[in-house]
Amino acid sequence: MSILHLIDTNQWFSSFSVEKSEQAIHALEQGHILYLPTLPFQLFPEENEFLSPSFAEPKAKNISFNRHTQILRCAKCPAEKYDRLKEMMQRFSIQAEQLVQSLLPAYTAEIQLGRTSFRPIEIAGRLSSYRKDDTRLHVDAFPATPNQGRRILRVFSNINPHGKTRHWRVGEPFSEVVKRFLPQVSKQWRGSAALLKWLKLTKSTRTTYDHIMLQIHDRMKADLNYQKTVAQQSIHFASGASWIVQTDHVSHAAMSGQHVLEQTFYLPVAAMANPALSPLMVLEELTGRSLT
Ligand SMILES: O=C(O)CCC(=O)C(=O)O
Ligand SMILES: [Fe+2]
């Protein structure tokens, strides 16, 4: 069965039937990817110049924007272009939010807006440490930004102007990932969470949940045999298409592609239709204790 759940729309804010929304939430929570092949993010002609790796630092994988603070992190942006790039990312962020509001209305009361990112650098051939190497299958967990059990929901849009797809690999279901890697997770040192916070290495407390998810993330990426042999499928997201995925439980790897926009949201587990499917509750069930 395909892991893609098709959503037929060409509007960022459209009216979906209750049934369509329920099906979408069900699919998402089961670990499917909501695929919107006819929902492009439209650039204004004068924005095409941003489709160039020259704005991003070679080592950074993205340009990031925080809509709350209005801060755009773009080291190589010429001053006169800063505001226009910000406007483009803000427009994407608002449209991604409208999509979530219209397609997943049951989430809207609780969902929290995270960072917006723009990724103008070709993935294939990019050099990075294994932990940062997103061409290796992984579930998302962020070292500096503990999410303390909240779900990570991401909206992507492939804005490649040359018709180039974004190629992902998608691996085994989270329940299988956990069976394999939870036994390898080392214990969190007592006091380490407080120390990380005190050193400002984390923005909030790294809970046991965050510790386990980071370890799973790292161990998946470190295991080259696993990367090669685990059951997996290849997916090519067309340019002009958008997709929504909960990247904290869908094992994914981005193999090639250039120019994508991405909006991150955080969702409290209690806001899910079926909280038992969250990584937090799956891990709490297996470890028999509270992890946050
Ligand atoms: O840039 C991409 O296509 C996906 C990279 C990734 O692993 C992520 O955003 O979680
Ligand atoms: Fe990821």
pLDDT tens digit sequence for 157-177:
999 999 999 999 999 999 999
Closest CA to 178 of 32, 31, 28, 34: 31
Q: Which is more confident, 29 or 200?
A: 29
pLDDT at 12: 98
Closest CA to 263 of 239, 244, 238, 287: 244
pLDDT at 55: 80
Measured at the CA of 30, the angle between CA 182 and CA 138, to 5 degrees, comes to 40
Cα–Cα dist 5/19, whole Å: 14
pLDDT at 11: 97
pLDDT at 260 over 90: yes
pLDDT at 1 over 80: no
What pLDDT digit, counting tens, does each position of 24-70 carry? Answer: 999 999 999 999 999 999 999 999 999 988 888 767 788 999 999 99
For the entire predicted model, the pTM comes to 0.97
Mean pLDDT of the chain: 95
Closest CA to 160 of 53, 10, 32: 53
Mean pLDDT of 196-210: 93
Mean pLDDT of 234-256: 98
**Residue 283 Cβ < 6 Å to ligand 1:** no
**Residue 160 Cβ < 6 Å to ligand 1:** no
What is the three-class DSSP state of 93?
helix
pLDDT at 86: 96
Cα–Cα dist 123/133, whole Å: 10
Cα–Cα dist 268/50, whole Å: 34
Enter the DSSP assignment of 201.
S
CATH no. for 4-287? 2.60.120
Least confident residue range of 56-65, 103-112, 253-262: 56-65
Confidence of residue 79 (pLDDT cuts 50, 70, 90): confident
Mean pLDDT of 70-99: 93
How far from the centroid of its chain's Cα atoms is residue 51's Cα? 21
Ligand 1 atom nearest the C-alpha of 253 is: 7
Ligand 1 atom nearest the C-alpha of 257 is: 3
Give, using CA atoms, the residue closest to atom 3 of ligand 1: 254
Cα–Cα dist 127/173, whole Å: 28
Closest CA to 104 of 280, 285, 271: 271
Q: What percent of the chain shows pLDDT beyond 70?
A: 99
What pLDDT digit, counting tens, does each position of 8-26 carry? Answer: 999 999 899 999 999 999 9
**Residue 119 Cβ < 6 Å to ligand 1:** yes
